[in-house]
Structure 1
Amino acid sequence: MRIDSHQHFWKYNQVRDAWITDDMKVIQRDFLPEDLAPVFKENYIDGCVAVQADQSEEETYFLLDLAIKNEFIKGVVGWVDLRADNLEERLIYFSSYKKLKGFRHILQAEVQDDFLLKPDFCKGISKLKEFGFTYDLLVAPKHLPYVIEFVKRFPDQPFVLDHLAKPYIKDGKIEEWKKDIQILAQYPNLYCKLSGMVTEADWNNWNAPIFKPYIDTVIECFGVERVMFGSDWPVSLLAASYKECCEILELNTAALSQNEKDKLWGINANNFYSLEHEKVLTVTGTNV
């Protein structure tokens, strides 16, 4: 069972999606399940987790509607205003959607680097565990010192770090990022997605080996039980095909056992997100 733990859908809107600048023309269009299904078939992917790209409840409804209509969308990470006075009411409501697994806020875009430590935001985070929701952390390396304090405050909340926290792969920088990852990985409630790497490299000039130090660091620190494959499709198309994203991970984890690969490619995502209608078992290293 192979699960893509991180991809997006959207109906392109020039105003709403202004983050998709003119140097990203390849993704200035609609991306919907009918576009992704054949890609999954070609790459032997069985299902995915669709993650929000817009900060609105409308985005959450949009993804949930797609998930209801497409069985291969196993889970949704949506958006809700964690600082809202009526948050508990919204969480009770959203709990009725079985494919809604968690939430995300685009923390990397906030002006204040310590936004996630603000009292109103932390108050919202404190309510998620009660309703069984996970939380995706989208941050850059500069945010990691704050993430360390943040994760420490909520030892019972399941967190996952998106895109390895976007290390500076293009510049070959690793040391400061690595030190923070080593600290973060000590918290057992935090997982990490091996996703979004190609867009942190030089889009037009990369090769698979340049990603190995970053992949090795994450696996060494988190262990194979707390890492998961994610494509970040279609954003990843800026630098690589879906097949190339898969090959990067396959080539750089070739030394893992089949059981370890099964965890990285599906079991861990299934367990973290409690994906609907999916029970992944491993018998003698084979998924059944």
Structure 2
Amino acid sequence: MTSPPPRIDAHQHFWKLDRGDYGWLTTDLAPLYSDFHPEDLLPHLKETGITGTILVQAAPTEAETDYMLSLAAAHDFILGVVGWTDFDRPDAPDRILEMSKHPKLVGLRPMIQDIKDDLWMLTPAVSNALAAMTQAGLTFDALTLPRHLPPLLTLLEKHPNLTVVVDHGSKPEIRDGGFNAWANDMTEIARETSAYCKLSGLVTEASENWTIGELKPYVDHLLIIFGPNRLIWGSDWPVCTLAASFTDWHAATVDLLSDLSADEVDRVWNLNAIEAYKLAPS
């Protein structure tokens, strides 16, 4: 009997509130204001056939990155960690090269969406940090909003050898019907660069009672411009639970990708993550 193909959740989080470095995480986000550990995620992975994950930073501290790497060392299903370091530090390039020696650190993610200066990503300090990431073979996760897409294109053109993944489709304003400007800017990113894009985080940008029909124009556009070879699935668990359970978002994705071939589905669920994060093949 043939085993089902491996599948990767390329974007999930864990956190412990008493660590104290999740400034964005307040009691206003009641469903998220709790500890989330590997044992909380494992039942969802088993139910949906997910065999491995990429654990992504949720706090702008190296201490949280160390915490995530300790979890990855203890749990084989965590295939890699996207961490954080301060790109503005004068010694950031050296720090990045040192951090890259950890076998499960596969990328870094500054929290661009929370930085007031939309052009921060184009500063000399960031450029030096990205050059070090390229040298180290680390992947840059771009946590951007639609307004960041024009400077992101400039960044990508300046660093053509840097592997970049745009998180959450750059968070299109689905609930407000924002489509055209986002679609045009994402098309430029897809056409002019080799960036990947994560099919994740969309349900929390949609209406409270979202439907697959509401998500479909955005997913279809991403499929057209990036193609199945550059889209990567992620749950964004537990953040997704603000709008959908892990299982519901997984099922919605299966529906949204139903027109793809088996090989194309395998790219989105597995092979693209392996390529983008330079993982050992499952």
TM-score above 0.5: yes
Identity of aligned residues (%): 39
Which residue is 1:220 aligned to?
224
Are residue 115 (structure 1) and residue 117 (structure 2) matched? Answer: no
Which portions of structure 1, spanning 4 or more consecutive aligned residues, are displaced by more than 6 angstroms? Answer: none
Mapping for residues 228-267 of structure 1, pairs under 5 Å? 228-267=232-271
Distance 2:261 2:230 in 1: 16
In the alignment, which of 132, 137, 140 is matched to residue 137 of structure 2? 132
Distance 1:274 1:268 in 2: 9
1:8–1:233 contact (8 Å) kept in structure 2: yes
2:51–2:77 contact (8 Å) kept in structure 1: yes
Letter in 2 for 1:147: L
Provide the aligned length of Structure 1 versus Structure 2.
277
Report the 3-state secondary structure (helix = DSSP H, G, I; strand = E; otherwise coil) of the residue aligned with 1:218: helix
Coordinate RMSD, CA, aligned? 1.3
Which residue is 1:284 aligned to?
none
Q: Map Cα deviations across residues 57-80 of structure 1 (whole Å, 9 max, x no partner).
A: 101100100000000000000011
Are residue 45 (structure 1) and residue 50 (structure 2) matched? Answer: yes
Which residue is 1:88 aligned to?
93
Q: Map Cα deviations across residues 65-105 of structure 1 (whole Å, 9 max, x no partner).
A: 00000000000000112222222332232122111001000
Which residue is 1:279 aligned to?
281
Letter in 2 for 1:165: S
Distance 1:139 1:91 in 2: 21
> TM-score, normalising length from structure 2?
0.95
Distance 2:53 2:31 in 1: 22
2:23–2:59 contact (8 Å) kept in structure 1: no
Shift of 1:160: 0.4
Which residue is 2:165 aligned to?
160
Which residue is 2:107 aligned to?
102
Q: Residues 146 and 88 (structure 1 numbering): CA distance in 2 closer, same or farther, change over 3 Å? A: closer
Q: Map Cα deviations across residues 151-185 of structure 1 (whole Å, 9 max, x no partner).
A: 11111100000000000011122100000011000
Which residue is 2:34 aligned to?
29
Question: Where in structure 1 are there 5+ consecutive unaligned residues?
Answer: 281-288
2:166–2:198 contact (8 Å) kept in structure 1: yes
Are residue 68 (structure 1) and residue 73 (structure 2) matched? Answer: yes
Distance 1:217 1:88 in 2: 36
Distance 2:47 2:236 in 1: 17
Which residue is 1:189 aligned to?
194
